Each structure stands twice: as C-alpha cells, then as structure tokens.
Amino acid sequence: MQTDILVSEVGPRDGLQSIKTVMPTEAKKAWIAAEAAAGVREIEVGSFVPAKLLPQLADTAEIVAFAKTIPGLTVAVLVPNLKGAEAALAAGADKITLPLSVSESHSRANLRRSHDQVIEEAQAIAAAIRALPVERRPHFEGSLSTVFGCTIEGAIPLRQILALAERLMAAGCDEVGLSDTTGYADPKAVREMVTAVRGVVGDKALTGIHLHNTRGLGLANVLAALEMGLDMVDSSLGGIGGCPFAPGASGNIVTEDLVFMLQAMDLRTGIDLKKLLKVRKVLAEALPGEPLYGFTPDAGLPLGFVPEQSTRKLETA
C-alpha cells in the first residue's frame, strides 16, 4: 500500500455544479485559499463550460487566476471539449480533465457527443497542449466516467471500457482516471477494474480514482483502490455534489472523513486535519441551508489523535 496519498479536492467543481445555489466568487476564493493553507495540494477549481449550462461555474477563469497565485497548489479544471480546453490553457490551469463516459447514452446526455467525437476532442486537446512550450503544458487526464455502471444503460461491457481507455491514451492523454459517476462501485469491482485497465494502459497511466458514497461504500472503495496501488483520490469538502446528468448519483466522498481515515492508517497526506475541519465554516456561511455531510466533523477527533502520526500506545490504569 502507498504511504503518500494525494487527496484531490473537487468540491469547487463537482460539488458546486450539482447544487442550485451559486456560491459568490469571493467565497470560492476563500474556500480554495483555506484548503490550500491546510495542506491540500490539488484542487479542481471549476469547469470551462457555457455559463448558461452551469451558472455556478461561470467565474472559473477568475478562480483559476486566483488559485494560480497560491504557491505549491496544482490547479485542476474539467473541460467538456476543445473550446473549454483552450480557455483552460489560456487561464494557465495545471491539470485538465476531459470526461469520456464509457456509456454512450450518458456521454450524449452529459457532453452531447458520441464516443468517437470525444476521442476526436481528446486528440485536438492533446495537439493544443503539444503546441505550448514544455514548461506551460498542463497534465492531461482522460476520465473514464460511469466506469462501474450507468443509470441509463446499466453495466458496461469490459471490452468497451478497455478499448476506450486505450483510445484515450492513443489520443494523447497523459493518463486515464476511473470515475464512479453513478455510485455503483464496490471494493471487488474496484480491484477488478484497476487490474483490467492497467492491463491495457500500464500502471503509470492509472493512478487516481473518483468515487461516490451513494450507497455507503465510498471509503471501502478507497481502501480497495489503495490496496491496488492507486495513490490519488478525489473527494469533496462536506460531501457536496454528485453528477447532475446521472439520476440518483449523489454523494461525493467527504474530504474530512477521507483524510481522517488515511491519517488514522498512518498514511501521509500533508494535510493539517484540524485546519481542514475549520474550512467547513466557509461553506456553511456561503451555502446557507445546503446540507454538509461527514462523520468526523460531527464527532470530532479521538482523544489523543495526532494527525499524520496516529499510532498511539494504550495506556494502562
């Protein structure tokens, strides 16, 4: 199992796009700054999509510009197509993720594109990245969405998933990611999917996973992913968000609970958990009435818990 785990915060994108409330730009900046100050090293700060589709993310360019001023922070964004990628490149994003749903029906509902059209977009984005000076090229990830099942089509044939993973890499992606868009995954499925996809793209081309807690298996699935050697996990502060284009796909895993579990297992995240727990106040004030989830924030840290060094000796009376 890995000893250094990258927790990638996706709340400012995946969380906010799934709720009706539009968070003020200054509140987003305060959120991102506070999480970075707590030691979060990668934050997906928004998505370059038309404002009429997702008004919650209309200020993404401004948010990227602000996040880029924070030393040591990897500024990630999601893009639906080449146009979005061009905006991300102009803004200076460090990481670009293009979602490709392995379910053709979900792909058409989410991106209004077929598999072939998304691959063409990936090729065009890769070419645009290669045209930049090496020092300005962002990391390019192709995310295999609905990889554990689709609310529209159900289970997706493995051969189709693997073929799309290969095509994304051939199109010029630096890596592929696994996304449990619909919350269908279980630990056995995670182990099998990681093994299968790595079998066609290689170990180095699959390092991260995006999981939901829709059926209460989020952290169990994280453990399965870690056992398979993945070392990057997406999560959302307060567990906000899901996918607005996949019915019933609520429930990102909670960043606070994830970090507590990792640190309790003596895995290094670089995150100050006490500082992280305080960031919820920013969300609570900016999103009044929006439910925030998480067991660790409610229960507090165990007596004697030392984050990033959790091993404790039992005291005798």
Name the token pair of 2: 């890995």
Residue 243 falls in the annotated catalytic set = yes
- b/e map 62-93, b = 16+ CB within 10 Å: ebbebbeebeebbbbbbbbbbebbebbbebeb
Which of 304, 295, 193, 283 shows the shortest CA–CA distance to 241? Answer: 283
Give the contacts of 31 (CB within 8 A, at least 6 positions apart): 11, 12, 23, 237, 279, 282, 283, 286
Name the token pair of 16: 């906010």
From the candidates 211, 243, 277, 279, which is the catalytic residue?
Answer: 243
Which of 67, 270, 42, 54 shows the shortest CA–CA distance to 177? Answer: 42
Looking at the annotation, which residues are catalytic?
243
